[in-house]
């Protein structure tokens, strides 16, 4: 029994997050979303009344804490991570290109699919040409700042009509990031020497991590609350349809609660900027597993991957606890 318990804990630490950060509405139909929405506190809180589920949660917290302490206190491990962080930080010159590629692919993909930014916003054919044009502008580096402003406007329009787009706040963060840290290299703007207009107070690159961190964290928190903790039937449907209890033999209640709590915790850690690089790297790995497992559309995740990559490179940036803790050390 003890051996089985540790197997389950290991699966939760390394396997559960693979189903955490998926947009649930991407893998079920709009009809299923409508019929399975609604709060069910009895379902969500059931694991707290189950001794085995409580034991798994408790031991999981202990294991994660032990791993974090080991990474900080054991010199060879800490030195290894320090080298990785230094190498990641050397990639900051590629951040504008990462952002532009992500926005370009996302917008062209959405335009091709006839949706507005998100696969859940159907009927976006009226915006297809605009999204195509914006996507190619970002990819070619042409009229970057105006394109960023239009992309921001598209997102705000979509979120006003369908609040679920808050779960795609990473898209908004990247669009703002282009506006904050517009870089024409490589691109047509640089070749033609087209001047870019932007507020002087927002020219500094170090704001990028803060903008991306807030957008991504808000998206994670929103999805954790909306799709898992406040509407558990949506995630329960995904668990049952994909037989996730065969992968990890715990109750469906435990799956939904744990997925919601883990995603909520990741979102809050990103917002306050604690262990930002570690959270970003782990999220990239587990979301990659999710992406291949659920076979979701590429364009719907490219901005998410790019936002995480930026945080892995830059860390928490301004107004993050990571920076405050580092300055004290």
Sign (positive or negative) of CA dihedral 318, 324, 327, 329: negative
Confidence check: pLDDT of 199 > 70: no
Q: What average pLDDT does the segment 189-197 reach?
A: 72
- Minimum mean pLDDT range among 196-205, 260-269, 292-301: 196-205
329 pLDDT tier (thresholds 50, 70, 90): low
Give the pLDDT score at 12.
46
Classified as helix, coil or strand, 9 is helix
Positive/negative CA dihedral, 99, 100, 102, 107: positive
pLDDT, tens digit, for every residue of 20-57?
445 776 777 777 777 777 787 888 888 888 888 788 88
Band of residue 154 on the pLDDT scale cut at 50, 70, 90 = very high
Burial of 140 (0-12, 13-18, 19+ CB in 10 A): middle
Q: pLDDT band at residue 192, thresholds of 50, 70 and 90?
A: confident
Check: CB of residue 233 under 8 Å from CB of residue 36. yes
Spatial contact of 180 and 152, defined as CB atoms under 8 Å apart: no
Q: Name which residue leads in pLDDT, 10 or 248.
A: 248
Given a cut of 60, whether residue 241 has pLDDT beyond it is yes
CB atoms within 10 A of CB 61: 12
As a whole number of angstroms, the distance between CA 301 and CA 38 comes to: 26
Return d(Cα 201, Cα 114) in angstroms, integer. 37
Q: In this predicted structure, what is the pLDDT of residue 156?
A: 93
Tell me, what's the pLDDT at 22?
Answer: 56
At residue 3 the predicted structure's pLDDT band, cuts being 50, 70 and 90, is very low
Q: Residue 186: pLDDT above 90?
A: no
Domain ranges of the chain: 1-329
Across the range 204-226, mean pLDDT stands at 86
- Looking at residue 20, what DSSP letter applies? T
Phi, psi at 183, each rounded to 5°: -130, 125
Higher model confidence: residue 203 or residue 129?
A: 129
- First-to-final CA distance of the chain: 43
8-state DSSP, 230: S
pLDDT for res 20: 45
Average of per-residue pLDDT across 113-131: 83
The pLDDT value given to residue 173: 92
- pLDDT given for residue 108 in this prediction: 92
Six-digit token string for 239? 């668990």
Read off the pLDDT of residues 219-235 as tens digits, 9 standing for 90 and up: 999 988 888 888 888 88
Confidence of residue 153 (pLDDT cuts 50, 70, 90): very high
The answer to whether residue 18 scores a pLDDT higher than 50 is no
Nearest to 24 by CA among 298, 209, 239: 239
Which one has a higher pLDDT value, 88 or 104? 104
Q: What does the alpha-carbon distance between residue 166 and residue 130 come to, in Å, rounded to a whole number?
A: 21
Mean of the per-residue pLDDT values of the chain: 79
Question: Which candidate, 53, 7, 54, 55, places its Cα nearest to that of 251?
Answer: 53
Query: What pLDDT was estimated at residue 2?
Result: 43
197 Cβ partners below 8 Å, 6+ apart? 145
**pLDDT value of position 172:** 93
């Amino acid at each position: 029994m003890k051996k089985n318990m540790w197997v389950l804990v290991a699966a939760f630490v390394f396997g559960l997050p693979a189903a955490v950060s998926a947009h649930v509405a991407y893998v079920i139909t709009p009809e299923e979303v409508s019929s399975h929405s609604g709060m069910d506190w009895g379902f969500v809180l059931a694991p707290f009344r189950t001794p085995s589920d409580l034991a798994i949660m408790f031991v999981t917290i202990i294991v994660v804490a032990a791993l974090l302490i080991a990474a900080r206190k054991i010199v060879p491990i800490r030195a290894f991570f320090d080298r990785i962080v230094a190498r990641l930080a050397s990639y900051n010159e590629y951040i504008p290109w990462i952002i532009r590629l992500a926005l370009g692919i996302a917008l062209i993909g959405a335009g091709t699919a006839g949706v507005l930014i998100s696969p859940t916003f159907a009927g976006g054919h009226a915006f297809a040409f605009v999204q195509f044009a914006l996507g190619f502008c970002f990819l070619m580096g042409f009229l970057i700042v105006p394109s960023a402003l239009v992309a921001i406007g598209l997102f705000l329009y979509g979120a006003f009509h369908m609040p679920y787009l808050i779960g795609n706040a990473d898209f908004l963060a990247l669009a703002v990031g282009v506006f904050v840290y517009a870089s024409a290299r490589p691109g047509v703007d640089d070749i033609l020497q087209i001047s870019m207009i932007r507020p002087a107070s927002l020219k500094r690159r170090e704001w990028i991590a803060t903008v991306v961190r807030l957008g991504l964290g808000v998206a994670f928190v929103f999805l954790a609350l909306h799709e898992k903790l406040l509407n558990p039937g949506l995630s329960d449907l995904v668990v049952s349809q994909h037989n996730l209890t065969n992968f990890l033999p715990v109750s469906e209640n435990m799956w939904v609660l744990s997925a919601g709590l883990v995603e909520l915790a990741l979102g809050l850690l990103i917002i306050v900027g604690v262990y930002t690089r570690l959270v970003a790297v782990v999220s990239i790995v587990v979301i990659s597993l999710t992406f291949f497992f659920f076979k979701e559309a590429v364009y719907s995740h490219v901005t998410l991957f790019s936002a995480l990559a930026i945080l892995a490179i830059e860390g928490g940036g301004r107004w993050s606890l990571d920076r405050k803790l580092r300055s004290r050390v």
